[in-house]
């Protein structure tokens, strides 16, 4: 089996090439630049130890071998987080986050593109060997405005990073003269070379979403190339520090270090243990969250994230270990106590009351009142203030929550958190319910919150989001902290994944060995339409073929799948299976015709959570296993056991209630249900949503194995790399229409994302 | 010593639990915390029943403890609960399937009245029984049709049927009490077979068939699936609408059987018969541990619920207490039985722990 990583199919080198610095700017050794390095810097340059950037001290900026390019440079680039600089150096990852805070004129948002060159400074080579793009923001400075781009180029042995606000782009040029607003973290074996970010034009390429998508995977590439070669740590480790709103201060390393330490630790967990009957859910968790940071929590399903949240939010009490909140050891008796103390939790299933207004929801349980009467006016006024703080002053506080889209409800949840004056907001997979553009809005809000000094614990399975929004990452595995306070942007994907799983891959798509060149037609959909959902959809799926549907939430993709399966009745169009027309709107007919579907919402649409695994697996086949209407539980267990073996279900005991399984294993049960029958066509709706990395790879293999047996697969996924990597053919949907059908090899991630998002960017955002 | 089973042998586990329960991962005994949820619930009900019997032994030692008397009292208790027991079996299916049937009492009245009209009685025993069953199933089918294809909420559809069926029963009987002079029908309540009253035989057979149907057939499996997660059942290819209709038809069938039993007990039928039976049946099903939201429940639990109620009635009658007091105690028993079932040792310890915990300043 050869492994193929997503960027090869998804991101063309061009995406990186666009954002790289110009050749001459990238890595041209420049005597003047070298000369501009201060003596202090040079002293540092030979010591790799200083490069370790004193993580605890909140470390100042550096490039990896410790030579802070500092003295006359205005904004100091910083690395913070445990040994992130050193680690970055070792793996040679070049992703960086720059800090726009340094200059008053600097950016509200700035972008970093870090490119790694092979030493010759050739730009083309830079792109090919792997570039990493990161996104930075300079929210630290209130007066910051505009946008700036940073291009950091790394030539082998040297790691210059330049932070170039728009206005000063030219000033950052080759002579490296320290100009206001320029941060050049320079390093080298001996000579420091500031980079020139030549013109904002090139740099701005980094701002397109594609660049962000590319980032994590590119980092892997970079890491692969450089492991073990660069122990002296000359990577451009540039990280941000929001509080370092320095202004034109002479940035000596110590002062910068002091800056880092200024962000106080608001929450510290030490050796927290929580045991449930039979399960040690938390087995020694360490966590440290600082004010104003976005602290990401990573871990597979079942790693203990949910339990940890519940401990923090007061829903559970730890058995042992300490929770320090604002410097005091605390023990929250219940969620109300945690709320009162300033910890708010936004759960994945938003706990809002649909038929109350936004304001009433925000102040639910602690309404301002006079003599028992709720002060509606006060609620609305304060809610309006809070919404304005969240950047949504346009939402009327008396609007009913029911009328809001998912993204809007999330804003209300955050408003509720702020109404409690929360200092820490815990978000459990907030992006899972959001469309692509809504995630951007969420991130904007999170940035505004952190700029106000509020700490955020952010949980997500999507590494690219963590790269974009996170500051530091703590990784949990089996209830333990396996890595704490990693730098969110610079830690290589490979390392994060391996900390979570012991494996080193994120997307791995097994090779299709025996793919039929021209598949016999299995499913043919002609002109299918349902008003308000999708119109005139035609597609085919062949035997043994995997067809992927790419599209945003609301593009009609899930509705299409359900209609094909008969769970919804089509208003127009025909569905043929094996050439025979299918009775519309009848799931039973579809199942008898050999179709099976794994719906989008596992828990609400597919599983009987209290029932044992085997009964869930045989839900569509128990009648066939039964004799004369009498069920045969023994045979069902045997059959389910075979499927469980095939899918490597854990735990393997099929008599356990399915509700006790992790998300990935639950998904295996749902897919396994259709392996039991003679399913010829499998419809998969978001098969890997909420599924951890390891189980995801296993699911991919299962899907391929099924296709190899001649089963046709029609799958829907929000994750474009997944659609591209898994499918033979791709159908792109937008606003209920098929906008493109092509073989997967003919499309790349950027093209698909463009197709998927064009024209619909702002739809579904809260009004 | 009592006629009621209080054995705790593992062999009865499945019967009590209403189905095969998964063994604990550590291979614990079935009585441990990971014993089946429903098994534990049923054991709690047996404890309640044992308590009632103890009260009976203390207050009426002759009837509850004495050789020769107690067995006839047991039959008396079971006969008392037999009609409600039969309709509770149908109700259990409906409630596990996620519905509710408020019209069972009214269906009994309609089936009873219809089967005892002069015209029907003239056609003989077989035809009377057939009429009662047909009316029961037919009304059940109408309920089911309104609910699954008319998309009415079960509560509303069956409430409407409660009113309408009693109205029709009163119209058919012309508000008169219709005596039966059919000896076979009247013998059902009076005769015994192998020393066991026929009414108890009917109850036993219906409960047994109900148990098999729920735990050993595809019909039962579909019922649990629909009640547990109707969307999942639908997407697994189960014909939810048809099955839902069948559930109400089954409840109607049980009402038809109940109508024959009740007609036999009173040797007559009238439009006001079986009043409030729906409440008795639902109460028995609920204290029997069946989830009102559907998806989980046991026939044995429902039977225990019925027996507990009729034991209370029996105790009160023997002790010459008024029915008002009796109803108050029944209400208390419903609450107590459910509370006992919810009882968990660790929930108690949690409760204390929670109170020890202090909130931060």
Q: Please tell me the distance from the alpha carbon of residue A273 to that of residue A78, in angstroms, as a whole number.
A: 34
Mutate to test the interface with A, among B209, B236, B357 (most CBs of A within 10 A): B236
**B193-197 mean pLDDT:** 88
Q: Which of B225, B229, B360 sits opposite A341 (nearest CB)?
A: B360
A614 to chain B, any CB pair closer than 8 A? The answer is: no
For residue B75, which of B208, B192, B184 has the smallest C-alpha distance?
B192
Q: Confirm whether B322 is domain-assigned.
A: no
Q: Confirm whether B332 is domain-assigned.
A: no
B357 to chain A, any CB pair closer than 8 A? The answer is: yes
Edge-to-edge strand list for the sheet holding A472-477: A343-346, A424-428, A455-459, A294-298, A472-477, A480-487
Looking at mean pLDDT, say which of A519-528, A710-719, B124-133 comes out highest. Answer: B124-133
For residues A236 and A266, the answer to whether their CB atoms sit within 8 Å is: no
Given this model, what pLDDT does residue A507 score?
59
| For B230, nearest residue in chain A (alpha carbons) | A605
Print the domain residue range for B120.
82-280
Q: Confirm whether B133 is domain-assigned.
A: yes
B242 to chain A, any CB pair closer than 8 A? The answer is: no
B228 to chain A, any CB pair closer than 8 A? The answer is: yes
**A353-382 mean pLDDT:** 84
| A101 vs B149 pLDDT, higher one | B149
Given this model, what pLDDT does residue B355 score?
43
Mutate to test the interface with A, among B33, B224, B232 (most CBs of A within 10 A): B232
Q: Please tell me the distance from the alpha carbon of residue A141 to that of residue B199, in angstroms, as a whole number.
A: 85
Rounded to a whole number of angstroms, the distance from the CA of B84 to the nearest CA of chain A is 27
B235 to chain A, any CB pair closer than 8 A? The answer is: yes
Q: ipTM of this complex > 0.90?
A: no
List of chain A residues whose C-beta atoms are within 8 Å of the C-beta of residue B225: 608, 611, 619
Residue ranges, comma separated, of all CATH 3.40.50.300 domains in chain A are: 265-501
Q: Is the pLDDT of residue A560 over 60?
A: yes
Verify whether the Cβ–Cβ distance B217 to A631 is below 8 Å. Answer: yes
List of chain A residues whose C-beta atoms are within 8 Å of the C-beta of residue B234: 567, 587
* CA distances for B224 relative to A588, A621, B146, B219, angstroms: 18, 15, 21, 9
Q: Which two tokens stand for residue A528?
A: 């299918």
For residues B242 and B148, the answer to whether their CB atoms sit within 8 Å is: yes
B230 to chain A, any CB pair closer than 8 A? The answer is: no
| For A657, nearest residue in chain B (alpha carbons) | B22
List of chain A residues whose C-beta atoms are within 8 Å of the C-beta of residue B228: 608-611
- Enumerate the H helices of B149-236 as residue ranges: 154-173, 183-190, 198-216, 218-228, 230-235
Q: Please tell me the distance from the alpha carbon of residue A382 to that of residue A565, in angstroms, as a whole number.
A: 48
Q: Please tell me the distance from the alpha carbon of residue A693 to that of residue A463, in angstroms, as a whole number.
A: 10
Q: How many domains is chain B partitioned into structurally?
A: 1
List of chain B residues whose C-beta atoms are within 8 Å of the C-beta of residue A611: 224-225, 228
Given this model, what pLDDT does residue B66 score?
64
For residue A328, what is the DSSP state? E
Given this model, what pLDDT does residue A426 score?
92
Q: Please tell me the distance from the alpha carbon of residue A60 to that of residue A141, in angstroms, as a whole number.
A: 17
- Rounded to the nearest 5 degrees, what angle is found at the Cα of A568, between the Cα atoms of A565 and A573? 80
Give the model confidence (pLDDT) of A165-175 as tens digits: 333 333 333 33
Verify whether the Cβ–Cβ distance A330 to B353 is below 8 Å. Answer: no
Q: Please tell me the distance from the alpha carbon of residue A499 to that of residue A494, in angstroms, as a whole number.
A: 9
Q: Please tell me the distance from the alpha carbon of residue A647 to that of residue B72, in angstroms, as a whole number.
A: 58
Given this model, what pLDDT does residue A515 score?
60
Q: Confirm whether B23 is domain-assigned.
A: no
A531 to chain B, any CB pair closer than 8 A? The answer is: no
**Residue A167: partners with Cβ closer than 8 Å, 6 or more residues away:** A105, A146, A181
Rounded to a whole number of angstroms, the distance from the CA of B348 to the nearest CA of chain A is 15
Give the model confidence (pLDDT) of A293-322 as tens digits: 999 988 766 678 888 888 888 888 888 888
Mutate to test the interface with A, among B218, B222, B235 (most CBs of A within 10 A): B235
Q: Is the pLDDT of residue B108 over 90?
A: yes
* CA distances for A414 relative to A277, A315, A410, angstroms: 34, 19, 6
Q: Confirm whether B173 is domain-assigned.
A: yes
* CA distances for A188 relative to A51, A404, A555, angstroms: 12, 54, 50
CB pairs under 8 A between A and B: 107
| B66 vs A248 pLDDT, higher one | B66
Q: Specify the CATH number for A265-501; select among 1.10.10.10, 2.60.40.1180, 3.40.605.10, 3.40.50.300.
A: 3.40.50.300
Q: Confirm whether B74 is domain-assigned.
A: no
* Collapsed DSSP state (helix, strand, coil) of residue A478: coil
A619 to chain B, any CB pair closer than 8 A? The answer is: yes
Question: Cis link prior to A446 (omega < 30° from 0)?
Answer: no
Q: Is the pLDDT of residue A158 over 50?
A: no
Q: Would the pTM of this model clear 0.80, i.e. be above it?
A: no
Adjacent-strand bridge partners of A357: A400
**A240-261 mean pLDDT:** 36
* Collapsed DSSP state (helix, strand, coil) of residue A321: strand
Give the model confidence (pLDDT) of A635-682 as tens digits: 889 989 988 888 888 778 888 888 888 778 888 899 888 888 888 999
| A180 vs B338 pLDDT, higher one | B338
| For B227, nearest residue in chain A (alpha carbons) | A608
Min mean pLDDT across A523-527, B33-37, B43-47 is at: B33-37
Min mean pLDDT across A114-128, B139-153, B196-210 is at: A114-128
Mutate to test the interface with B, among A323, A333, A653 (most CBs of B within 10 A): A333
Q: Is the pLDDT of residue A623 over 80?
A: yes
């Amino acid at each position: 089996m050869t492994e193929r990583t997503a960027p090869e199919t998804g991101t063309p080198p061009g995406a990186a090439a666009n954002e790289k610095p110009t050749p001459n700017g990238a890595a041209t050794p420049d005597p003047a630049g070298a000369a501009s390095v201060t003596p202090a810097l040079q002293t540092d340059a030979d010591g790799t130890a200083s490069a370790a950037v004193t993580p605890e001290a909140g470390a100042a900026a550096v490039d990896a071998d410790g030579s802070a390019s500092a003295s006359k440079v205005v904004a100091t680039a910083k690395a913070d987080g445990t040994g992130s600089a050193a680690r970055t150096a070792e793996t040679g990852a070049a992703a960086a986050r720059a800090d726009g805070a340094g200059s008053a004129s600097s950016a509200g948002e700035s972008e970093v593109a870090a490119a790694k060159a092979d030493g010759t400074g050739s730009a083309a080579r830079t792109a090919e060997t792997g570039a990493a793009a990161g996104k930075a923001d300079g929210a630290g400075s209130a007066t910051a405005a505009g946008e700036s781009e940073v291009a950091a180029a790394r030539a082998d042995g040297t790691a210059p990073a330049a932070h170039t606000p728009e206005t000063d782009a030219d000033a950052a040029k080759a002579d490296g003269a320290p100009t206001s607003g320029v941060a050049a973290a320079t390093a080298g074996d001996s000579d420091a070379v500031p980079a020139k970010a030549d013109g904002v034009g090139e740099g701005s390429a980094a701002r397109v979403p594609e660049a962000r998508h590319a980032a994590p995977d590119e980092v892997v590439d970079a890491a692969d190339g450089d492991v073990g070669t660069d122990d002296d740590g000359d990577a451009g480790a540039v990280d941000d520090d929001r509080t370092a709103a320095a202004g034109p201060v002479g940035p000596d390393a110590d002062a910068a270090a002091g800056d880092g330490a200024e962000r106080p630790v608001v929450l510290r967990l030490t050796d927290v243990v929580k045991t449930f009957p039979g399960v040690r859910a938390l087995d020694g968790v360490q966590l440290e969250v600082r004010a104003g940071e976005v602290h990401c929590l990573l871990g597979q399903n079942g790693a203990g994230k949910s339990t940890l949240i519940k401990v923090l939010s007061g829903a559970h009490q730890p058995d042992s270990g300490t929770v320090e909140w604002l410097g005091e050891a605390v023990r929250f008796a219940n969620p109300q106590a945690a709320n009162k103390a300033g910890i708010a939790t936004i759960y994945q299933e938003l706990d809002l009351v649909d038929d109350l207004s936004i304001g009433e929801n925000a102040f639910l349980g602690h309404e301002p009142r006079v003599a028992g009467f709720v002060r509606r006016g006060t609620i609305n006024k304060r809610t309006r203030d809070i919404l304005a703080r969240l950047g949504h002053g346009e939402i009327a506080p008396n609007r009913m929550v029911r009328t809001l889209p998912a993204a809007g409800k999330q804003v209300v949840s955050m408003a509720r958190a702020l109404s409690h004056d929360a200092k820490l907001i815990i978000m459990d997979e907030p992006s899972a319910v959001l469309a692509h553009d809504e995630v951007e809005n969420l991130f904007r809000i999170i940035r505004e919150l952190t700029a106000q000094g509020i700490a955020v614990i952010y949980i997500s399975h999507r590494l690219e989001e963590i790269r974009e929004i996170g500051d530091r990452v703590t990784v949990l595995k089996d209830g333990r902290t396996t890595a704490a306070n990693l730098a969110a942007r610079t830690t290589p994907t490979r390392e994060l994944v391996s900390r979570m799983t012991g494996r080193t891959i994120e997307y791995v798509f097994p090779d299709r060995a025996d793919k039929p060149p021209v598949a016999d037609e299995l499913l043919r959909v002609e002109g299918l339409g349902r008003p308000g959902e999708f119109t005139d959809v035609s597609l085919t799926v062949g035997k043994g073929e995997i067809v992927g549907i790419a599209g945003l939430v609301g593009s009609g993709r899930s509705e299409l799948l359900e209609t094909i399966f008969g769970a919804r009745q089509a208003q127009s169009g025909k569905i043929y299976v094996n050439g025979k027309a299918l009775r519309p709107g009848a799931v039973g007919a579809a199942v008898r015709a050999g179709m099976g579907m794994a719906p989008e919402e596992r828990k609400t649409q597919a599983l009987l959570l209290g029932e044992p695994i085997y009964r869930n697996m045989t839900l569509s086949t128990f009648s066939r296993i039964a004799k004369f209407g009498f069920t045969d539980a023994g045979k069902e267990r045997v059959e389910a056991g075979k499927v469980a073996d095939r899918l490597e279900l854990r735990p393997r005991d099929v008599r356990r209630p399915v509700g006790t399984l992790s998300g990935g294993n639950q998904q295996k049960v749902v897919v396994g249900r259709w392996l039991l029958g003679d399913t010829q066509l499998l419809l998969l709706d978001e098969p890997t949503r909420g599924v951890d990395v390891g189980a995801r790879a296993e699911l991919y293999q299962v899907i391929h194995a099924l296709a190899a047996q001649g089963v046709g697969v029609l799958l829907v996924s929000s994750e474009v790399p997944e659609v591209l990597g898994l499918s033979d053919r791709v159908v792109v949907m937008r606003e209920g229409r098929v906008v493109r059908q092509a073989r997967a090899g003919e499309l790349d991630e950027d093209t698909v994302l463009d197709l998927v998002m064009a024209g619909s960017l702002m739809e579904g955002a809260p009004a | 010593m009592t006629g009621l089973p209080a054995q705790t042998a593992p062999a009865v586990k499945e019967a009590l639990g209403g189905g095969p329960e998964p063994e604990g991962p550590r291979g614990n005994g079935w009585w441990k915390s990971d014993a089946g949820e429903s098994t534990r619930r049923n054991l709690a009900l047996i404890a309640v029943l044992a308590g009632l019997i103890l009260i009976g032994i203390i207050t009426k030692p002759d009837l509850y403890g004495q050789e020769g008397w107690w067995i006839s009292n047991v039959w008396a208790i079971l006969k008392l609960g037999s009609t409600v027991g039969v309709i509770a079996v149908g109700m259990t299916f409906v409630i596990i399937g996620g519905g509710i049937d408020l019209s069972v009492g009214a269906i009994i009245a309609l089936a009873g009245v219809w089967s005892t009209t002069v015209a029907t009685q003239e056609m003989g025993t077989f035809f009377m029984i057939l009429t009662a069953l047909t009316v029961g199933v037919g009304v059940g089918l109408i309920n089911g049709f309104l609910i699954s294809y008319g998309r009415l909420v079960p509560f509303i559809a069956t409430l409407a049927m409660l009113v309408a069926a009693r109205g029709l029963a009163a119209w058919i009987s012309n508000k008169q009490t219709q005596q039966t002079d059919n000896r076979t029908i009247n013998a059902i309540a009076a005769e015994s077979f192998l020393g066991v009253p026929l009414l108890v035989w009917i109850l036993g057979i219906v409960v047994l068939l109900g148990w098999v149907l729920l735990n050993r057939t595809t019909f039962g499996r579909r019922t649990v699936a629909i009640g547990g997660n109707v969307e999942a059942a639908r997407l697994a290819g189960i014909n939810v609408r048809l099955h839902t209709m069948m559930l109400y038809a089954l409840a109607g069938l049980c009402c038809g059987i109940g109508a024959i039993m009740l007609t036999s007990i009173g040797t007559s039928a009238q439009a006001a018969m079986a009043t409030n039976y729906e409440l008795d049946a639902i109460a028995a099903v609920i204290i029997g541990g069946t989830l009102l939201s559907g998806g989980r429940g046991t026939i044995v639990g429902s039977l225990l619920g019925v027996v507990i109620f009729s034991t209370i009635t029996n105790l009160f009658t023997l002790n010459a207490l008024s029915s008002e007091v009796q109803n108050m105690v029944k209400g208390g028993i419903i609450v107590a039985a459910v509370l006992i079932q919810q009882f968990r040792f660790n929930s108690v310890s949690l409760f204390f722990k929670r109170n020890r915990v202090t909130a931060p300043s």
